[in-house]
Structure 1
Amino acid sequence: MTTPPQAQAIAERELCGLVNGLAAQISDHVRRRAVTLGLTAAQATALRELTGPMTTRDLAERMSCEPSNATFVIDKLEKQGLVERHPHPTDRRAKLLVLTDDGVALRERLLGLLTQESPLAGLTAEQQRTLQELLEKTVARP
């Protein structure tokens, strides 16, 4: 038996509301943790996503923002001595973003803080993996 379109639309609306609610809780959590380290939420997100050397374009994609916005955030992190721009080995137009030693240390502190009282903390590791798998099936990745 198939679900009537109206019931399916209601179910999708409710699911979207839950996903949006979770995203808002995560954003608020990141913001609150960032403040304790003297960072903005965008700076904390950039540090969290800088898992290794990458271009500003790659970072912007991970941050879900425009490269110009990521550049603004990186400029601030660079002034704080947390990030350096290095020449790209194969593209002379691009720069690689690299965390400094201070940036690595702050990132580690941030990651520790983000796990404390996380909106996802109520889920077991298995439930978190299941949620991740389900979201990966729905979110288009380049």
Structure 2
Amino acid sequence: MSTERESPGQSDRRLCGLVKDLANQIDAHLRARTAALGLTTSQGNLLRELTHPLTLRELAERMSCEPSNITFIADRLEEQGHLERHPHPDDRRAKQLVLTPKGTELRERLLKLLSEDSPLAPLAPEEQDALQHLLSRALIR
């Protein structure tokens, strides 16, 4: 058994591969759970991220996409009765997306489904906290 350490390049490549594989598993899990509810992955992402009233721009930042993409997704969810656009309390030009009772119930169902058999489920809560801390540190630039 060799006691040689990996070179920084090898270690970085291996770690990046693991992060990518985990991201792919999380994405596949999200796709399967949203499909079970008759939603697109984008709709599921929007529902998951809409933790409180947010503007299209704020939601786009959270979801790392353009506000025009959020508009399209929000339009579909609004047509289905899951969310509404309300005037922003501090900015007359902006609208906030707000879940309806039907949307809140759907979001709760989605979050419950996402917690079942999650790719992160094998980790104990303190391990999940440690992973979150380490990933947060790695993302700070």
| TM-score scaled by length of structure 2 | 0.93
Aligned to 1:46: 46
Question: Does residue 112 in structure 1 map to residue 112 in structure 2?
Answer: yes
Q: Which runs of 5+ in 2 are unaligned?
A: none
How many aligned positions are there? Answer: 137
Question: Does residue 65 in structure 1 map to residue 69 in structure 2?
Answer: no
Aligned to 1:130: 130
Q: How does 1:23-34 map to 2 (within 5 A)?
A: 23-34=23-34
> How many angstroms does 1:102 deviate by?
0.1
| TM-score scaled by length of structure 1 | 0.92
Percent identity over the alignment? 58
Q: Which runs of 5+ in 1 are unaligned?
A: none
- CA separation in 2, counterparts of 1:66 and 1:130? 31
Aligned to 2:18: 18
**Off by >4 Å, runs of 4+ in structure 1:** none
> How many angstroms does 1:43 deviate by?
0.3
What one-letter code is carried by the residue in structure 2 that aligns with 1:49? Answer: E
What one-letter code is carried by the residue in structure 1 that aligns with 2:109? Answer: R
Aligned to 1:102: 102
SS for the counterpart of 1:131 is helix
- The Cα RMSD (Å) is 1.5
> How many angstroms does 1:140 deviate by?
3.5
